[in-house]
Structure 1
Amino acid sequence: MFELRRLRLLHELALRGTLSAVAEALSYSPSTISQQLAQLEREAGVPLLAPDGRRVRLTEHGAALAAHAARALDADEEIRGELDELQPGIAPVRIAVLQTAARTIVPAALSLLAERAPTLRVELAEVPPEEGLFELSARGFDLAIAEQYPGLTRAHRPDLVRHVLGADPMRLATRGPGGSLRDVADRPWVMEPAGTAAREWAVQQCRSAGFEPDVRYELADLGAHVSLIAAGHAVGLLPDLLWTGVTPPVTLTTLPGEPAREIFTASRRASAGRIGIRLAREAIADAFAA
């Protein structure tokens, strides 16, 4: 019988591609990862890894065992979920959150959980949705709050299940009188870093309006976006969720077609029914609705 811990290492290698990436994700040394995978290979009796330049790749046998590892890890989560229902106490829930959710949805959700499940330990990390969804699939998190933009649907991972929270309108943010995108075509822009869905969508809005934006400021912190725009140094596209409980210090203009990003939670299909994850997901949904 294969040890589940070693199977997870093989599963992680299939996901992340390199031994160093697996070691960093799981806080092991690369040599420890190599030793454990070598032991798994001896137990399997067939070669699981093959040299590939300075890296290693999964052999046909390795890929087959990695697929089995994913199923075994899912089964382990399902069993743990059933045990959660039968025994007192609730296992901790680790949640990956995007920045605007950390500012607005999460504090209200934690207040609800303090009333509904005071013994539930919730651990949070603010990470980009791209990273959060990957790490959720890799079991680094139990739940993720993510977003997707009109025309930029995120890939649906078969091991994850989504629950839509709702729509979050996107608007043009300027200092002083508002206008159309064309009216600010010659202004400096502040946008999120290249490679993010938010950046790709914002650039496409500008191109659809007939110009290439001068992205002079590239910042992940939306609070910094607001500061630059309010000071008159830039213009940008910002979500309404950012203004929960505060008065916007900038002028907001509705865009043609009233585009909105979709906010959703995601969890692994194998653990979605676990009591702690279910309670956290419900609290997040209620907080967003409020």
Structure 2
Amino acid sequence: MPYIKIKDKNLYYREYGEGDVLVFLNGMMMSTTSWSPFIKFFSSEYKILLVDLIDQGRSDKADTFYTQDMHVEMLKDIFEKLGYHKVHLIGTSYGGEIAQLFTLKYKDMVRSLILSNTTSYTDEYIKKVEKEWYQLAEAHDDNLFLNTVISSVYSENFYKENIKWIEGNKKQIKRILDKEWYKSFMRGIISTYDFNVNNQLNQIRIPTLVISSDLDTVIPMKYQQIIYEKIPLSRWIVIKDSGHASIYEKPYEFMLVILGFLKTMDFKLNK
């Protein structure tokens, strides 16, 4: 398996295709495997990097609690070791927070930014959701954890219409749930508590796509609207009839808006 050593930790990564580099950053419960349905589509025109950061997927666990800045520095080291000078950063949910922090600190390394179902700050509403998830993880009740968390990331209709797929997904996740996994999950949640880049967003001066889902109750649309309004070169797309996990509920729309953005981000209409 392809691992890269960063700050004495083994990080799992996968590369596909050739061309400009697209880096996909995981949400809280995601891993490199989560992006598998999109590999063939995007790697036909771009080089793709999938990476499990610390406490994610197949990468090493953290030794203690950490801030999201740790992910930023490790990501920078990964890019340098792999010879990436400039990348397109795609982050969903938690990964979108890391993408914003990275862009603010290492703007010369980012060609464009794509932020899906994410926020620019952790307020009391988001913290309330996260604390509920934290308490569920702390209880180590697999069924209660999965039934509560999984149901919250999908829209009601999608959940009802795809119950067989969702139950199969729960079974797959349940195989990896142990005390170490729950500890990793809780560390990830705590790392978001002080996240706030609201007052710095206007410093991001690269083409940016903001993606919302109209039925997202985990990080509702108003949080993406703030990002859109504060980043000067941003565009905002709302995916209809989808909850927080838009990459699963509306994968074709998700691919379409990202590819459309990448193809048109530098295009100027003659008026």
User: TM-score if structure 1 supplies the norm length?
Assistant: 0.30
Higher strand share: 1
